[in-house]
């Protein structure tokens, strides 16, 4: 069974940093591209970042470019999101999501971890 | 950047109703359009990929159609478990997954 479990969320002050982790199991993690997608309270889904299976290709949404860094450790079956210079508008549930490139869709999602940026 | 719009933003319907949700892309995206369902407090779930292909395990009352810039998600007979928010998402920009703003389906 495919499982994606996020951790690392919490309360952080504006300007602060946080590192999210996603532990993957039930599939060959090193063969799949991954995304981070977020959802602000009461709002819609916003794609945040993409990383290819080998980490050779990385993309960011304009809203986080220069502040967030996506990475992965295939030996540990883990995906990460380093978030720096956090702003109030980064408050959201952050989802780790598996990309199935063959169908160009996100086929599995984690349960999400809440990041709250507030003083 | 490709922008996605959805209409309506919300709708009220009854069990058994036929429901149609529309999604429009700011430029042609061929058939690179996916639909997701999200229930409160839960992660989204893939329903339809490539505009009209049903994801494994999804009931056949869900269907998708369209190509180019205009797409439709149809629920042929709304069931109690279908009350949720539905999002379209383009994957034409292969590694940049833009979502539509969502359509909330609630009980009339």
Q: Say if A94 is an interface residue toward chain B (CB within 8 Å).
A: no
Q: Say if B31 is an interface residue toward chain A (CB within 8 Å).
A: no
Q: Which residue has the tokens 């199935």?
A: A100
pLDDT tier at A43, thresholds 50, 70, 90: very high
Strand duo A78-83 + A18-25: pairing:
antiparallel
Taking each continuous run of H as one helix and of E as one strand, the counts in chain B are: 0, 11
CB contact under 8 A, A101 and B97: no
pLDDT value at position B94? 65
**What does the pLDDT look like over A46-70, one tens digit per residue?**
999 999 999 999 999 999 999 999 9
CB contact under 8 A, B100 and A44: yes
CA distances from B88 to A48, A113, B3, B24 (A): 16, 23, 11, 9
Q: Which residue of A has its CA nearest to B32?
A: A104
pLDDT value at position A102? 87
Q: Note the helical H segments in A17-109.
A: none
Q: Say if B56 is an interface residue toward chain A (CB within 8 Å).
A: no
Extract the residue ranges of chain B whose pLDDT is less than 50.
none
Q: Say if A66 is an interface residue toward chain B (CB within 8 Å).
A: no
Both tokens assigned to A44: 């819609």
> Is there a cis peptide before residue A58, judged by omega within 30 degrees of 0?
no
CB contact under 8 A, A109 and B100: no
Tell me how far apart the alpha carbons of residues A1 and B10 are, in angstroms, rounded to a whole number: 34
Largest CA distance in chain A: 43
Of A59, A105, A109, nearest to B43 by CB-CB distance is A109
Tell me how far apart the alpha carbons of residues B4 and B73 are, in angstroms, rounded to a whole number: 14
pLDDT tier at A18, thresholds 50, 70, 90: very high
Q: Which residue has the tokens 């994606």?
A: A4
CB contact under 8 A, B94 and A46: no
Of B44, B55, B91, nearest to A45 by CB-CB distance is B44
B74/chain A closest Cα distance in angstroms? 19
**What does the pLDDT look like over B16-45, one tens digit per residue?**
999 999 999 999 999 999 999 999 999 999
CB contact under 8 A, B50 and A110: no
Handedness of CA A34, B96, A57, B54 (dihedral sign): positive
Collect all residues of chain B within an 8 Å Cβ-Cβ radius of residue A49.
none
CB contact under 8 A, A106 and B38: no
Query: Which residues lie closer than 8 Å to B103 by C-beta, 6 or more apart?
Result: B6, B7, B8, B9, B10, B11, B21, B85, B86, B87
pLDDT value at position B1? 85
CB contact under 8 A, B49 and A47: no
Please name the helix (run of DSSP H) or strand (run of DSSP E) that holds residue B19, with its range, or none: strand B19-25
- Burial bucket for residue B53 (CB in 10 Å: 0-12, 13-18, 19+): middle
Both tokens assigned to A79: 């995906």
């Amino acid at each position: 069974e495919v499982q994606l479990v996020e951790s690392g969320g919490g309360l952080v002050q504006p300007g602060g940093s946080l590192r999210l982790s996603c532990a993957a199991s039930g599939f060959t993690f090193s063969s799949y591209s991954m995304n981070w997608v977020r959802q602000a309270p009461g709002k819609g889904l916003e794609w945040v970042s993409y990383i290819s299976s080998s980490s050779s290709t990385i993309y960011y949404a304009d809203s986080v470019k220069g502040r967030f860094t996506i990475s992965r450790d295939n030996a540990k079956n883990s995906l990460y999101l380093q978030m720096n210079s956090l702003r109030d508008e980064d408050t959201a549930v952050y989802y780790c999501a598996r990309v199935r490139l063959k169908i160009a869709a996100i086929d599995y999602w984690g349960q999400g971890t809440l990041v709250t940026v507030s003083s | 950047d490709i922008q996605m719009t959805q209409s309506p933003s919300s709708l009220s319907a009854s069990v058994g109703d036929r429901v149609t949700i529309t999604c429009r892309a700011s430029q042609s995206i061929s058939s690179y359009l996916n639909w997701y369902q999200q229930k409160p407090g839960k992660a989204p779930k893939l329903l339809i990929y490539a505009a009209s292909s049903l994801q494994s395990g999804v009931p056949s009352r869900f269907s998708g159609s369209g190509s180019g810039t205009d797409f439709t998600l149809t629920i042929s007979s709304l069931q109690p478990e279908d009350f949720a928010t539905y999002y379209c998402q383009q994957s034409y920009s292969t590694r940049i997954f833009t979502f539509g703003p969502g359509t909330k389906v609630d009980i009339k």
